[in-house]
Structure 1
Amino acid sequence: MTLPQKRSVPSAVVTNALRACRLGLVAVGVFTGIINVLMLTGSFFMLQVYDRVIPSRSLPTLLGLFVFIIVLYTFQGVFDAIRGRLLVRIGASLDQHLSRSAYEAVVKLPLVQGAGPDGLQPVRDLDQVRSFLGGLGPTALFDLPWMPLYLGLCFLFHVWIGLTALVGAVLLIALTLLTDVMTRASAREVSQSASVRLGILEAGRRNAEVLRAMGMIGRVFTRWAIVNERYMDTQQRSSDVVGGLGALSRVLRMLLQSSVLAVGAWLVINQQATGGIIIASSILTSRALAPVELAIAHWRNFVAARQSWRRLTDLVSRLAVPEPSLLLPPPVKEIAVEALTVAPPGTQRFVVQNANFRLEAGDGLGIIGPSGSGKSSLVRALVGVWPAVRGKVRLDGAALDQWNAEQLGDHIGYLPQDVELFDGTIAENICRFEDRPESAYIIEAAKVASIHEMVLRLPDGYETRIGEGGSALSAGQRQRVALARAVYKSPFLLVLDEPNSNLDAEGDHALTQAIAATRGRGGIVMIVAHRPASLVGIDLLLVMANGQCQHFGSKDEIVKRLAEGTRDPSQRSTIRAEAVRAKG
């Protein structure tokens, strides 16, 4: 299953985020207008000095004008600071409204379209937008609409001064558009290369032990170096374009200022303007074109922020699936699998096809089969991790998509094949990081998984921090803590994928006790295993091969059928022996 590629309508989350920023953006626009009016202070001061103060030699007039501009410049500085603070807070407001959606996109995206090169891209996109709003780029964009004001004043001074400034403005705007056209593709390449580059780095960090033990550091670095070189090349090309056009805009602006001075001087010589107009028009022209130059200088950040915003809003809109508001009663009867077909996220290759079976309260099902037969894919669909391509999984008659995700999680215990714990205490990991967990539930889950005594022997007991990924614990301890997390609050459906891969004899005994306890209270247990001997405490068996359910029924009957269907006598003996061990 893949996300649709067409542009989607903004979700309510994005709409609400923009609506929350509306008043702030209006305020920024108002302050921008005030600031741009106050920007006229310098021009009119110079005009008054040259046309009034110097001819009259009036010091009181000069002093009065100087005090007046001190007040105006002070207000300009205050309003400019307020505008900057508002933009920073608008960025913080967007982050506050969209951070949950960005985090959910990071978590959900691999389950919808498969793992990408940089799984943190949605959060990076949000950071990019917030960082841009806190910089100088937005102020230039807000100042651009005020260019006609300055150009109009230049025309009021004299038509030739206005035309000179207008020609310069048209040239700089053309440079801005050219910058957008020439940097759009390169900015996209920079973003894609950066994602791949960071993805390889993250993979190396996660697999540091393997790289070091098997001498793979240099080889993986070679792969990273190739991607890094591509990233540096695209970034360099983008920087060259922006830097070159930025330098050209600065030269053009300085040339335009000199041209305005030259035109003004020509008008003075011909007695069509005063000396004050020369200086004032030069300042006005500089101010009119400054936003364009600043926009070009920050254009790369603007393009990156625009692409980040589009990616983020499109992704949030596509992943925004309304959660059912009605809370269903807790399941207590059965789970039914109806013609279930499953494909890994981002692919169309079916790994499970037309699976059909039903389990009732108190049942225990073992799922066996060779590697690649679809066992883990099946249980991922049963717990709602992978969406079904066709068919349904129902708990007490309600399909999984009819359940609220948070509510459904309370009724499911899942121990995946690759155990992942989170940086925090053992208690936090067992209680699934609930805000206000009850200690009795945590201890009960630990006792069911037979780790209560083990935890008490640790330096800080249940408050022992286990580090990222549970690095402070052994593989067997991590698996048993994950088992305690799975049985927390006695879920109705307990799904265990290769739960004894890292367990010793004591751990196997704890696993058997957890299975018995779950079935004894009316829960349903499913265990994925390669061999029947791992299925102590289970009475039903599902055999999978090539993504299809080959056999389903009582464990004794299925084992007997498998033994009879095996031609090799030694294999028949092995299967029967495993069946005896599986009975406990």
Structure 2
Amino acid sequence: MNNVVAGFIRQPKKDTGAEAFSRCKSALVAVALASALINILYLTGSFFMLQVYDRVIPSRSIPSLIALSLLALLLYIFQGVFEVMRSRMLIRISGVFDEVLGSRVFKAVMKAPVKTKVEGDGLQMLRDFDQIRSFLSSAGPAAFLDLPWMPLYIAICFMFHPIIGFIAIGGALVLIALTFLTHRSAQSSSKQATELGNRRNTFLQAAQRNAEVVQAMGMRKDLAGRWLDQNDAYRMTSRAASDTGNVYSTISKIFRAVLQSAVLATGAVLVIENQASGGIIIASSILTSRSLAPVEQAIANWRGFVSAQQAWKRLRDAFRDLPENEAPLKLRAPYRQLAVEQLISGPPGRQEITISGVSFSINAGSAVGVIGPSASGKSSLARAVTGIWPSYRGAVRLDGATLDQWDDDDLGTHIGYLPQDIELFSGTVAENISRFQPAPEPAAVIAAAEIAGVHEMILRFPKGYETQIGPSGSMLSAGQRQRIALARALYKDPFLVVLDEPNSNLDGEGEAALAEAILSVRRRGGIVFIVAHRPSALEGCDLVLMMNEGKLVAFGPKDEVLARILRRDVKPIHAERSPTLKVVGDSQEQ
């Protein structure tokens, strides 16, 4: 068991896998000891039959038969107790694995989209985690724990008679060959089935997220056909893998039955030739069958073993690519400045640059509106400023400290972010505004709602702040979701508030509330970074920053920048003659 589990969780020092293995050491020793006792007790049936045929029947002694039967019954009871104990311990080992790695897996799943390129639906790590945990609590580990006891059974077969021992060895070699073939077929089919399953699930989840569009435009039939094609490929691959595994498993069962009959026939010949006693016929048949049972069980569980092994390799690689760094020294809350220095950034996990050479600084109490044509890098800049996208070169600094000098969770308390695509979580209004903190301060929740101008709206809900909003906020309108998300961004007065098109779903009342929220952040000494397409979003801003083709082309006081934009017909790629306008596209200040 040590070797099997260590194959999954043997990792460098301080790794979470190594921690799980370390915490399971005593349980692994207990499982190994239980396996030893179980395999010794498996000899009960063989020796019972040997004694009955060689001693009880010749002596015709009923008391001896009763005594042997009671002893055998007691040993069988002990065997059953140890079987239950081993199964329960394996389940608890999988529980320790879950306890140690569960939080790590969740954090890695959440970190992957902002650190690396994610394939499929992004939940492969969770499926791998479940696969490993399921295997550890299944009959698979027990089957592999029984394999080392094969030599003991074969040695006893030799004690019965050398010919019987050689038959047992031959049978073991054939079954080992079947195990190798099973392993080779399972490796490729399991990997292919996993990839096809991910592709199928991703497509279905995308269709589900856009269920309204699918229904409105009659796309269901065509999408169903596309999904069925992917599902057919997955089903065919899984069926082929199952068919192959079942063939090898059936061959091993039939071969073991044939071998058992061959041992019976050989025992009969040996008795006829006066080379063995009558009890050898039955005892050797039972023992030979038992000696090969672990191999047969290993073949039956081999696909699960290979799947778990591949799952652990993927999970280990994910942990390596998404390390859990030690928390840095806790810095004081920022209060002075946001500075961006020659920033180059792009989507995580891709060789693609979307913003290049951007530099600017914003002091506390200011709000900057980010404008520019579509695909100019506005939202990319917002993601880079919050640390969602990586900084390939340059830096984003809060009060002089780069974002990587902060602990992720600690940094999050100082940033409020409203993305372009609003996503709320299943729960109450209060839970969403408070960012699902376990014991939020009611006053802070209400204050955030009041600043966002949604307090009165929330009070009109059926249960006020305790109203359940459904998955992704499905019980709310688009405008309501956007305003509650704004309240979430403003919760506990973060220093930097980044808003990406916050008025895209707002009416006149909502836009007025947004403008007041921006001014509120400025009055308390915060910074607002707002990506805007509609001019009304700039009402509370004192600065404007213009992006074009991933570069900052203009930055300065709002009135001056907007005036220059209007004079240049909204094409201020090079604003080189303004005495107050900072032009960064050609690295000059005019």
Instruction: Quote the offset at 1:150 in angstroms.
Output: 0.4
Equivalent residue number for residue 452 of structure 1: 455
Equivalent residue number for residue 488 of structure 1: 491
Cα contact 1:8–1:314 (8 A) shared by 2: no
Distance 2:144 2:345 in 1: 49
Instruction: Quote the offset at 1:9 in angstroms.
Output: 5.2
**Cα deviation per residue 1:518-562 (whole Å; 9 max; x = unaligned)?**
000110001001244420010111110111111111111111221
Distance 2:269 2:368 in 1: 96
Cα contact 1:49–1:62 (8 A) shared by 2: yes
Q: What is the RMSD computed on CA atoms of the aligned residues?
A: 1.5
Say which of 393, 398, 407 aligns to 2:396. Answer: 393
Q: Which runs of 5+ in 2 are unaligned?
A: 1-9, 572-590
Equivalent residue number for residue 502 of structure 2: 499
**Cα deviation per residue 1:263-294 (whole Å; 9 max; x = unaligned)?**
22222122111111111111111111111111
Distance 2:193 2:202 in 1: 14
Instruction: Quote the offset at 1:482 in angstroms.
Output: 0.5
Instruction: Quote the offset at 1:449 in angstroms.
Output: 0.6
Q: Does 1:375 align with 2:381?
A: no
Equivalent residue number for residue 208 of structure 1: 211
Equivalent residue number for residue 571 of structure 1: none
Instruction: Quote the offset at 1:10 in angstroms.
Output: 7.5
Equivalent residue number for residue 517 of structure 1: 520
**Cα deviation per residue 1:329-380 (whole Å; 9 max; x = unaligned)?**
0001111111111111232111111111111111111101111111111111
Task: Give matches, 1:342-491, under 5 Å.
Answer: 342-491=345-494
Determine helix, strand or coil for the equivalent of 2:24: helix
Instruction: Quote the offset at 1:81 in angstroms.
Output: 0.5
Cα contact 2:367–2:543 (8 A) shared by 1: yes
Equivalent residue number for residue 250 of structure 2: 247
Equivalent AA in structure 2 for residue 464 of structure 1: T
Say which of 53, 64, 69 aligns to 1:66. Answer: 69
Say which of 557, 561, 586 aligns to 1:558. Answer: 561
Say which of 67, 83, 87 aligns to 1:84. Answer: 87
Equivalent residue number for residue 579 of structure 2: none
Cα contact 1:330–1:411 (8 A) shared by 2: yes
Distance 1:194 1:459 in 2: 41
**Cα deviation per residue 1:464-487 (whole Å; 9 max; x = unaligned)?**
111111111111111110010000
**Cα deviation per residue 1:63-98 (whole Å; 9 max; x = unaligned)?**
000000111000100110111111111111111111
Percent identity of paired positions between Structure 1 and Structure 2: 53
Equivalent residue number for residue 234 of structure 1: 237
Instruction: Quote the offset at 1:564 in angstroms.
Output: 2.3
Instruction: Quote the offset at 1:567 in angstroms.
Output: 8.6
Instruction: Quote the offset at 1:11 in angstroms.
Output: 5.9
Cα contact 2:515–2:537 (8 A) shared by 1: no
Q: Does 1:282 align with 2:285?
A: yes
Equivalent residue number for residue 258 of structure 1: 261
My pick for the range that moved more, 226-235 or 111-120, is 111-120
- Ranked by relative contact order (alpha carbons within 8 Å, sequence separation 6 or more), the top structure is 1
Distance 1:353 1:394 in 2: 17
Instruction: Quote the offset at 1:8 in angstroms.
Output: 8.8
Distance 2:258 2:475 in 1: 66
Say which of 185, 189, 192 aligns to 2:188. Answer: 185
Equivalent residue number for residue 294 of structure 2: 291
Paired residues in the alignment total: 562
Cα contact 2:328–2:405 (8 A) shared by 1: no
Equivalent AA in structure 2 for residue 391 of structure 1: G
Determine helix, strand or coil for the equivalent of 1:386: coil
Say which of 315, 318, 333 aligns to 1:315. Answer: 318
Distance 1:121 1:236 in 2: 21
Equivalent residue number for residue 580 of structure 2: none
Q: 1:231 to 1:542 in 2, by over 3 A?
A: same
Distance 1:21 1:529 in 2: 54
Q: 1:567 to 1:322 in 2, by over 3 A?
A: closer
Equivalent residue number for residue 164 of structure 1: 167
Instruction: Quote the offset at 1:489 in angstroms.
Output: 0.4
Distance 1:475 1:114 in 2: 29
Instruction: Quote the offset at 1:565 in angstroms.
Output: 2.0
Instruction: Quote the offset at 1:144 in angstroms.
Output: 0.7
Distance 1:155 1:209 in 2: 72
Q: Does 1:225 align with 2:228?
A: yes
Distance 1:68 1:246 in 2: 35
Equivalent residue number for residue 56 of structure 1: 59
Q: 1:411 to 1:219 in 2, by over 3 A?
A: same
Equivalent residue number for residue 177 of structure 2: 174
Instruction: Quote the offset at 1:504 in angstroms.
Output: 0.7
Cα contact 1:11–1:317 (8 A) shared by 2: no
Cα contact 1:9–1:317 (8 A) shared by 2: no
Instruction: Quote the offset at 1:318 in angstroms.
Output: 2.2
Structure 1 stretches of at least 4 aligned residues deviating more than 4 Å after TM superposition: 7-11
Q: Which runs of 5+ in 1 are unaligned?
A: 1-6, 569-584
Q: Does 1:99 align with 2:102?
A: yes
Distance 1:118 1:517 in 2: 39
Q: 1:499 to 1:444 in 2, by over 3 A?
A: same
Cα contact 2:424–2:485 (8 A) shared by 1: yes
Task: Give matches, 1:142-161, under 5 Å.
Answer: 142-161=145-164
**Cα deviation per residue 1:134-190 (whole Å; 9 max; x = unaligned)?**
222221111111111101111111111111100100110111011101221011001
Task: Give matches, 1:525-544, under 5 Å.
Answer: 525-544=528-547
Cα contact 1:10–1:313 (8 A) shared by 2: no
My pick for the range that moved more, 27-36 or 523-532, is 523-532
Distance 1:347 1:259 in 2: 63
Distance 1:437 1:551 in 2: 41
Determine helix, strand or coil for the equivalent of 1:344: coil
Distance 1:390 1:321 in 2: 22
Equivalent residue number for residue 577 of structure 1: none
Cα contact 2:511–2:536 (8 A) shared by 1: no
Q: 1:19 to 1:466 in 2, by over 3 A?
A: same
Equivalent residue number for residue 580 of structure 1: none
Instruction: Quote the offset at 1:458 in angstroms.
Output: 1.1
Distance 2:470 2:83 in 1: 46
Cα contact 1:10–1:317 (8 A) shared by 2: no
Equivalent residue number for residue 511 of structure 2: 508
